[in-house]
A and B are shown apart, each in its own frame.
Chain A
Amino acid sequence: MTASDILLRVENLSKHFPTKTGSVKAVDGVTFDIKRGTIVGLVGESGSGKTTAGRCTLRLIEPSGGRLIFDGKDLLSLSEREMRSYRRRMQIVFQDPYSSLNPRMRVEDIIGEAIDTHNLARGAAKRERIAELLTRVGLDPEHGRRYPHEFSGGQRQRIGIARALAVEPEFIVADEPVSALDVSVQAQVLNLIQDLQQSYGLTMLFIAHDLSVVEYLCDEVVVMYLGRVMERGPSRSVYAMPRHPYTQALLSAAPVPNPKAHRQRVILQGDIPSPMNPPSGCVFRTRCPYAIDACAEVVPPLDPIAPDHHVACIRRDDPVVLSQGKRL
């Protein structure tokens, strides 16, 4: 794998929010690569820092530390003005289709603003481009005259996608783009995203908490817990043989469409600890069924166990953990 294959390299990214009683480590030393034309899934439960990490990669939230190498350039070294030209190359699709569209703007103005900001087209060419984008995401070009409240959740999400596509980006962060939609609509929007990704050769960071969605869509998976990466690797190998106890627990909780399938469920106890005061050593140890005393002492490094497959667990080769992974 050469460096030019990688569109975005996230290195040791962290975001600490200062509070009166100490800092909240929402993202703490996250590292992963996204190859051109691939989709990387970022998964984890609520509070794992996946959304913050996604926002940080676009500098919508200013990271506290680390590097973001986008197409060979460290984004964090750019000024706000220099960043503006990169904004055209990277876009975001939001989770909530209701609050992500300005209620006082017509759809054509929402999409038109993206075109205007980067002077991509004017007058008739702009109208044509808006119609083309609306058609591309499965809406009627006539819908441009309407306001967001006249659309359903799924249609609104399509408008949000059209806005992101309007600037012809290379990289899109999709922040749980279907989790707020009805199940019947989810599949349609997912298919649209996949179709667009393939036809435009988009590179994507797909943030989700639904593992089946990620398995269906993503080339690689990054599993986060309490601001840190627990496991990352190609979807195929992570799903076939999850090595981190947290990934195992997540996968065992996902429903399987086979009533006869027997699985060893891993039921996690308790809630995710406060990121203000994370456990020492491995942050997952307080809920890990295999935690031993040593887990409290060292922060487990993200070690490679196969090409591209990394796991942060000191007991990853322990037979108990291995066999649980095989059973899933």
Chain B
Amino acid sequence: MAAVASNPEQVRFLTLLIRRRTVLVGLMVLLTIACVAILAPVIAPYAPNKLSVVNRLKPPSATFWFGTDEFGRDVLSRTIYAGQLSLLVGVCVVCFASVFGIALGLVAGFFRRLDTPVARFIDAMMAFPDILLAIALVAALGPSLATVIVALGIVYTPRLARIVRASTLVIRELPYVEAARALGVSTWRIMTRHVLRNLVSPILVQATFIFAYAMLAEAGLSFLGLGVSPEVPTWGTMIAAGRQYVGRADWMTLFPGIAIILSVLSLQMVGDGLRDLLDPRFRKDL
């Protein structure tokens, strides 16, 4: 953290960020979820796939805090373990979409000749509804964890590419880029040092939203049976399995549902806070 906050502006920014209550709460919830997921083997009271026929569909109790499912597996333990996969999907999708989105956006924004083909391609991708495109991609590639990540990565790449392209178009024309060109600075260096460095904030904001969307979409795909195989606990597969028991064993869908809501909501809160703080028009209201 010390390296990140090396200059006073960044320190001031971090304090402002923490001082916003929504951001602070969001960050704390996120950190808690992440820690619980990572420490699942230590925290979870039972193994996620431990069957116990005598304990089928038990409501929440002192032994099973979140109840049990139709095979007698502990819902709490499964919810905790499911967090690992959901977070993993979120992180991987954000990385995938960032790498390709930034590359595409920079190329489109910086090289006039490539702009039209790349921008049209991005627009065409965005014309598909997210989940529909993801379903089509998973169906084509075959359902597995890797496919889900790649498919969602492809789905969210245009979102980042579009933002990067738009900002690149603006920054490309600024005098400090012109000054670098006048000095004979190489195009690669101009793109990384002058353009990309000034794009960090919009990319960061977008990344938090993509993280949230990716977790939701993964749950959606798993729910539809297009994600990972049903016995692997993810919040999506758990809700899918619990669907048949709604009314009889609501806890099977309730707790993974709460987990999704909490993580998506806290990510959105952090993202909103970041966006407001990084936008000078909002900053003065603080």
Residues of A in contact with B (beta carbons under 8 Å apart) = 55, 58, 60, 83-85, 87-88, 90-92, 94-96, 99-105, 113-114, 117-118, 147, 149, 160, 163, 167
The reply to whether A147 and B9 contact each other, CB–CB distance below 8 Å, is yes
Residues from 83 to 99 in B contacting A, C-beta threshold 8 Å: none
Contact A87 to B7, CB < 8 A, known contacts A99-B176, A101-B176:
no
In Å, the complex CA distance between A103 and B199 comes to 12
The reply to whether A100 and B175 contact each other, CB–CB distance below 8 Å, is yes
Closest to B187 in A: A80
In Å, the complex CA distance between A163 and B180 comes to 10
Chain A residues near B113 (CB-CB < 8 A): none
Query: Can you list 9 residue pairs at the A/B interface with Cβ under 8 Å?
Result: A55-B178, A60-B181, A88-B184, A99-B175, A99-B176, A104-B200, A105-B197, A118-B183, A147-B9
Residues from 167 to 201 in B contacting A, C-beta threshold 8 Å: 174-176, 178-186, 193-194, 197-198, 200
Closest to A166 in B: B183
The reply to whether A100 and B183 contact each other, CB–CB distance below 8 Å, is no
The reply to whether A105 and B193 contact each other, CB–CB distance below 8 Å, is yes
The reply to whether B175 and A96 contact each other, CB–CB distance below 8 Å, is yes
In Å, the complex CA distance between A96 and B179 comes to 12
The reply to whether A60 and B178 contact each other, CB–CB distance below 8 Å, is yes
The reply to whether A92 and B178 contact each other, CB–CB distance below 8 Å, is yes
Q: Which of B9, B174, B180, B200 contacts A113 (CB 8 A)?
A: B180
The reply to whether A113 and B178 contact each other, CB–CB distance below 8 Å, is no
The reply to whether A104 and B197 contact each other, CB–CB distance below 8 Å, is yes
In Å, the complex CA distance between A55 and B182 comes to 10
Q: Which of A101, A105, A117, A149 contacts B184 (CB 8 A)?
A: A117
Q: Which of A92, A102, A104 contacts B182 (CB 8 A)?
A: A92
The reply to whether B198 and A92 contact each other, CB–CB distance below 8 Å, is no
The reply to whether B9 and A149 contact each other, CB–CB distance below 8 Å, is yes
Q: Which of B176, B182, B197, B200 contacts A87 (CB 8 A)?
A: B182
Chain A residues near B175 (CB-CB < 8 A): 94-96, 99-100
Chain B residues near A83 (CB-CB < 8 A): 184
The reply to whether A87 and B194 contact each other, CB–CB distance below 8 Å, is no
Chain A residues near B174 (CB-CB < 8 A): 99-100
Chain A residues near B7 (CB-CB < 8 A): 147
Minimal beta-carbon separation of B12 from chain A (angstroms) = 12
Chain B residues near A160 (CB-CB < 8 A): 179
| 5 new A-B contacts at CB < 8 Å, known A103-B198, A113-B193, A163-B183 | A85-B184, A99-B174, A102-B176, A105-B193, A113-B180
Chain B residues near A114 (CB-CB < 8 A): 183
In Å, the complex CA distance between A233 and B9 comes to 50
Give the bracket for the number of chain B residues in contact with chain A. 10 to 19
Closest to A96 in B: B175
Closest to B197 in A: A104
Chain A residues near B193 (CB-CB < 8 A): 102, 105, 113
Chain B residues near A167 (CB-CB < 8 A): 183
Interface pairs A-B: 3 shortest CB-CB: A87-B184, A100-B175, A84-B184
The reply to whether A94 and B9 contact each other, CB–CB distance below 8 Å, is no
Closest to B184 in A: A87
Chain A residues near B180 (CB-CB < 8 A): 113
In Å, the complex CA distance between A113 and B9 comes to 22
Residue interface bits B1-38, CB-to-A below 8 A is 1, else 0: 00000010100000000000000000000000000000
The reply to whether A102 and B194 contact each other, CB–CB distance below 8 Å, is yes
Minimal beta-carbon separation of A156 from chain B (angstroms) = 11
Contact A60 to B9, CB < 8 A, known contacts A94-B175, A101-B176, A102-B197:
no
In Å, the complex CA distance between A88 and B198 comes to 26
Q: Which of B182, B194, B197 contacts A60 (CB 8 A)?
A: B182
The reply to whether A117 and B178 contact each other, CB–CB distance below 8 Å, is no
Residue interface bits B186-226, CB-to-A below 8 A is 1, else 0: 10000001100110100000000000000000000000000
Chain A residues near B198 (CB-CB < 8 A): 102-104
Q: Which of A84, A88, A92, A104 contacts B179 (CB 8 A)?
A: A92
Q: Which of A85, A87, A95 contacts B183 (CB 8 A)?
A: A87
In Å, the complex CA distance between A183 and B101 comes to 46
Closest to A167 in B: B183
Minimal beta-carbon separation of A231 from chain B (angstroms) = 29
Minimal beta-carbon separation of A137 from chain B (angstroms) = 15
The reply to whether B178 and A94 contact each other, CB–CB distance below 8 Å, is yes
The reply to whether A117 and B185 contact each other, CB–CB distance below 8 Å, is yes
In Å, the complex CA distance between A105 and B178 comes to 15
Chain A residues near B194 (CB-CB < 8 A): 102
Closest to A100 in B: B175
Chain A residues near B181 (CB-CB < 8 A): 60
Closest to B198 in A: A104
Interface centre among B7, B9, B179, B180 (most CB of A within 10 A): B179
Minimal beta-carbon separation of B179 from chain A (angstroms) = 6
In Å, the complex CA distance between A104 and B176 comes to 11
Chain B residues near A88 (CB-CB < 8 A): 184
Chain A residues near B186 (CB-CB < 8 A): 117
Interface centre among A92, A94, A104 (most CB of B within 10 A): A104
Closest to B196 in A: A104
In Å, the complex CA distance between A166 and B181 comes to 15
In Å, the complex CA distance between A55 and B178 comes to 10
Chain B residues near A104 (CB-CB < 8 A): 197-198, 200
The reply to whether A113 and B182 contact each other, CB–CB distance below 8 Å, is no
Chain B residues near A113 (CB-CB < 8 A): 180, 183, 185, 193
